[in-house]
Amino acid sequence: MANPLSTLQQGWLYAGFELQRLWLTRRGLMTLAATAVIWFFLLRYAIAPASDLISADGFQQFFRDVFGSGGLTQLFAWPAPELAVYWVLSLLILPTFCLFFTANQLCSDLERGTLRFLALRSSRSSIVLGRFAGQMLVQGSLILLTLAATLSLAAWREGGISLAMLTAAIVIAVNLLLVLLPFTALMSCFSAMVRSARLAVSLAIVSLGLVFALLSWFIFYFPDYLFLMGYLPGTQVLQLIQLQGWVTLQHALLPLAQTAVLLTAATVLLKRRML
């Protein structure tokens, strides 16, 4: 049995190595460049125009008339409309990006046999935990970069950055990381099962779709079990959109629990498989 302290130390080394992969390798820099291009278009053609629209009094009144003063009207409570649009957009698209982005946690190393070098020096638990932590650090870096760009846009329009805007940005970053935790852990599982990132993504999409379809079918006949839907990864996203500020953390427990279960599964899967 591996010592928990050495598992954490080695996990930290793996996480640092993944961060190095993002910032110091050609492939990592290509990922950064691709992210920059995608977010440039999102900021230029989605967030900036939508922010102008949201900040218009007429639109806010129209929105309240249609949807009432609760729910989505909380979007107007964010200190900058750019952050509100970033919040909605990120919550909806980042989980899908995450499936693709984090699919290769273990697959390539399994295929190449690199894991055989690693398994002689560290436990399989620390490999899974370290790679997972590394992916979260990488995604955290990208979220911080895109948030910084969004804040710059807001600052340019409003003539400066307020403390409320910075706090809101931190709230968004923490929540996005919480939302991405179970999806990243889900890809830890699938990448421990197969030797190709593409196959891992396909398996994840099919599995999520299948579970959703089976659960829907089950609930159709047994409506009392509707609450089960709430346990699927990402189901809190629609509730989060309607919230604002630190109150959003009331939905933090479920993704944390899902992540713990999925990471345990990933560790068991890697321990049981032949390298």
Partner 1 sequence: MSTIIQCQGVSQAFGSKKVLQQLDFTLQQGEVAALIGPNGAGKTTLFSVLCGYLKPDSGSVLLFGHKPGSAALFGKVAALPQDAQFDPAFSIGEQLDFYGRLQGLNSRAAAAETDRVLALVGLSEQRQHKAGALSHGMRKRAAIAQAFIGAPQLILLDEPTAGLDPVNALQIRQLISRLSAEVSFVISSHNIFELEQLCNKVLYLEQGRLKTEANSASDSLQQFLTLQLEQDDSAAVTQALSALPGVISIEAVQQKTLLLCYQAQQNADFDLAVLQCLAANGWRYRNLTKGKTLEQKLFSSV
Binding-site size, partner 1 (CB under 8 A):
29
Encoded tokens for 87: 């919040």
Closest CA to 126 of 10, 259, 256: 10
Letters for 100-139 (x = contact with partner 1 by CB under 8 A, - = none) are --------xx--xxx-xxxxxxxxx---------------
Residue type, 270: L
- Residue 163 engages partner 1 in binding (rule: CB under 8 A): no
By CB under 8 A, which span of 1-9, 32-40, 54-62, 66-74 interacts with partner 1?
Answer: 1-9
CB of 6 to partner 1, least distance (A): 7
35 vs 122, beta carbon nearer partner 1? 122
Region of 12-20, 138-146, 167-175, 187-195 interacting with partner 1 (CB under 8 A): 12-20
Query: What is the SS3 assignment for 144?
Result: helix
DSSP 202-223: HHHHHHHHHHHHHHHHHHHH-G
Greatest CA separation for the chain: 65
| Residue with Cβ nearer partner 1 (47 or 131) | 131
Least Å distance, CB 120 to partner 1, is 6
Least spacing, CB of residue 143 vs partner 1, in Å = 22
Residue ranges in 17-56 that form contacts with partner 1 under rule CB under 8 A = 17, 20-21, 25-28
CA distance 202 to 225: 28
Q: Which is nearer to partner 1, 1 or 163 (CB)?
A: 1
Residue number with CB closer to partner 1 (120 or 163): 120
Q: DSSP for 156-203?
A: HHHTS--HHHHHHHHHHHHHHHHHHHHHHHHHHHHHHH-S-HHHHHHH
Q: In angstroms, give the least distance from the CB of 16 to partner 1.
A: 9
Residue 62 vs residues 53, 54, 65, 121, 189: alpha-carbon distances, Å: 11, 11, 5, 62, 46
Between residues 159 and 272, which has the closer beta carbon with respect to partner 1? Answer: 272
Tell me how far, at minimum, the Cβ of 37 lies from partner 1, in Å: 21
171 CB neighbour count, 10 Å cutoff: 20
Q: Is 191 exposed, middle or buried (0-12, 13-18, 19+ CB in 10 A)?
A: buried
Q: Which of 1, 58, 65, 220 binds partner 1 (CB under 8 A)?
A: 1
Contacts with partner 1, residue ranges (CB under 8 A): 1-3, 6, 10, 13, 17, 20-21, 25-28, 108-109, 112-114, 116-124, 274-275
